[in-house]
Amino acid sequence: MPTYNAPVNDTKFLLNSVFKLENYSHLNGFDEVSEDLVEAILEEGAKLAQEVLHPLNAVGDSQGCVLNDGQVKTPEGFIGAYNSFKEGGWIGMGCDPDYGGQGLPFTITSAMNEFVSSANMAFAMYPGLSQGAIAAIHTHGTDEQKQTYLPKMVEGEWSGTMNLTEPHCGTDLGLLKSKAVSADNGSYKISGTKIFISAGDHDLTDNVIHLVLARIEGAPEGVKGISLFIVPKFLINEDGSLGARNGVECARLEEKMGIHGNSTCEMRYEEATGYLIGEENRGLNAMFVMMNEARLGVAIQGLAQSEIAYQNAVSYALDRRQGRALTGAKEADAPADPIIVHPDIRKNLMRIKAFNEGGRALIIWGGLLSDIIHRAEDEKEKQKADDLLGLITPVLKGYLTDVGFDNTVKAQQVYGGHGYITEWGMDQFVRDSRIAMIYEGANGIQALDLVGRKLSRNGGRAIMTLFGDIDAFVKEHEGNEKLTPYLTGLKEGRKDLEAATMWFMQNAMANPDNAGAGSSDYMHMMGLTIMAYMWAQIMVAVQTDQDNGNGSASFLDNKAKTAEFFMAHMMPDTKAQLARIQQGAAAIMALEADQFVNG
């Protein structure tokens, strides 16, 4: 059975030494967040993840959820775990204190989110979806709506969901058919079918607050006629108590590849009472608030599954003995050496390790940018953070989940035949992490969002900001010889990324397919480049700590060697990515559609 140890030390190192949270005391609420407080939160969160959530991970996978008479039952132990989670105040840790939250920085909640998503991804989605719904109601709801829903949701008494997808439309929400008919009292009657609704129904909370996209009768066609509604499972009485069952029900649970512990529901709305949230026909905008945070949440899942898969692959590689080191027996007295002596095994472990530690830095960077957007006073500082976060959000989602999934496969491979056997637990990480590449916008859509929208927005201001920041960073540290190898790798990536960006500028105008064709490679190239940017920053912190005699020498040495591996072995991929991008769309679009069949 797999085990899990939350990477508290690495997270603390990133928060304190690399990103230096202490420098952000000008952000609202950051002054209250001391190093000691953060450490206490991380330690407590690690304990919950390791001791309460992780032991239920395999249980959730094997039992799955069950639908009985329109009510979903979660796997054994999930209710107890949810109550611990709720009572620890974890659901509202980042929420507005006016509604019962603790107002902690998103940076900290993101770090904790990794632990929870490693320990039990299917479970983590229940509070995760609630947090998204809380954010949408907080941003777009009326005061009355906020008073009605937020305190209960922040506390965890009620949960939340997002209802976008319908059988015939996922990516292309303009095709959406669910309808809303105005009722006398200002409410609406919502009817339609929504599919793939994660945490759509369950037995963890007394009520489920659905956020539902639907089209008001007479609204324009396409995306400009979609509104967002609050549809509670149970209607709420004037005094706040629960009233009648609303006209919404889980009609079916999907059987799926993984995340069996989370209920994936087909939700049927039959004249359910709903309340408009935000402006009429501006539902997609309201939903985008949830979607951006949700994308970061999914990026974290990619990292989180890669991390737990890595930890178990390492422990197997240290334990399992087969064959001898190529350079001669390492443990001659034993019948064979542990397989970690083999370079091919070690290369795969190093790839995952370098990705995980760099990815953790990316997630914290993303969290910090989000905090700046929401907590800074200075408009320029906010705008810059908004530009950068808008640019890197699709990259974090697409790159961290694509590679995170690959890493679970690599980790499974370390186990040989045992990796394929259910009781060893490695295949669950593969099956669970697979969904992260698909939901909240399939990764191909993230790439298109990046290349088609984020690159060109405001005359390319965001990407120019990124290049400018990297250049300033390089310039600042170029004099330091010890940093040279890390800066060289970063500069190479930045150069390739710029070449690809220029190539799009020159070739996508004439034929937009040239941008579409290279979009996924570009997303991965940016992923590698900003990860190199993280590793270079990590190395600055390592140097500083080493020079000052701070921190554990082995920890710092470990970072330096991992950074070296990252630059030498992972950055060369940008060359092949650039070569493919520069081939353009011609060979990709050459076949007639029916030639794909008649080959």
Instruction: For residue 132, give the 3-state DSSP assignment.
Output: helix
CB of 429 to a copy of itself, least distance (A): 11
327 binds a copy of itself (CB under 8 A): yes
Q: Which residues contact 189 (CB under 8 A, 6 or more apart)?
A: 180, 181, 183, 247, 271, 272, 273, 274
CB of 233 to a copy of itself, least distance (A): 23
534 binds a copy of itself (CB under 8 A): no
Kindly tell me which of 82 and 522 has the beta carbon lying closer to a copy of itself: 522
169 binds a copy of itself (CB under 8 A): yes
Please report, as residue ranges, which positions from 22 to 61 form the binding site for a copy of itself (by CB under 8 A): none
Kindly tell me which of 185 and 598 has the beta carbon lying closer to a copy of itself: 598
Strand 179-182 relative to strand 207-216, pairing: parallel
- Exposure string of 26-56, with b = 16+ CB inside 10 Å and e = fewer, is ebebbeebeeeebeebbeebbebbbebbbbb
Interface residue with a copy of itself among 67, 336, 474, 499 (CB under 8 A) is 336
Only segment of 107-115, 381-389, 527-535, 587-595 that touches a copy of itself (CB under 8 A) = 587-595
Interface residue with a copy of itself among 2, 4, 6, 7 (CB under 8 A) is 7
CB of 200 to a copy of itself, least distance (A): 13
439 binds a copy of itself (CB under 8 A): yes
Q: How far is CA 313 from the centre of its chain?
A: 22
The site string for a copy of itself over 224-253 (x = CB under 8 A, - otherwise) reads ------------------------------
CB of 9 to a copy of itself, least distance (A): 8
Q: Which residues contact 331 (CB under 8 A, 6 or more apart)?
A: 337, 338
Q: Which amino acid is at 206?
A: D
Interface residue with a copy of itself among 20, 26, 224, 347 (CB under 8 A) is 347
Q: Which residues contact 28 (CB under 8 A, 6 or more apart)?
A: 375, 376, 377
- For 335, which DSSP code? S
- The answer to whether 362 touches 356, Cβ cutoff 8 Å, is no
63 binds a copy of itself (CB under 8 A): no
440 part of the active site: yes
CB of 550 to a copy of itself, least distance (A): 17
- For 53, which DSSP code? I
Structure tokens at 468: 């400018």
270 binds a copy of itself (CB under 8 A): no
Q: Which residues contact 565 (CB under 8 A, 6 or more apart)?
A: 350, 354
580 binds a copy of itself (CB under 8 A): yes
Residues in binding contact with a copy of itself, number by CB under 8 A: 105
- d(CA 553, CA 441) in angstroms, rounded, equals 42
Kindly tell me which of 89 and 170 has the beta carbon lying closer to a copy of itself: 170
Only segment of 73-81, 97-105, 343-351, 372-380 that touches a copy of itself (CB under 8 A) = 343-351
Catalytic site residue from 440, 478, 481, 492: 440
Please report, as residue ranges, which positions from 464 to 523 form the binding site for a copy of itself (by CB under 8 A): 511-513, 515-517, 519-520
Interface residue with a copy of itself among 1, 183, 329, 421 (CB under 8 A) is 421
Please report, as residue ranges, which positions from 361 to 420 form the binding site for a copy of itself (by CB under 8 A): 405, 409, 412-413, 416-417, 419-420
Structure tokens at 130: 């609630």
Structure tokens at 553: 């020498």
Q: Where does residue 521 fall: left (phi above 0), alpha (psi -120 to 50 degrees), or beta otherwise?
A: alpha
Could you list the active site residues?
440
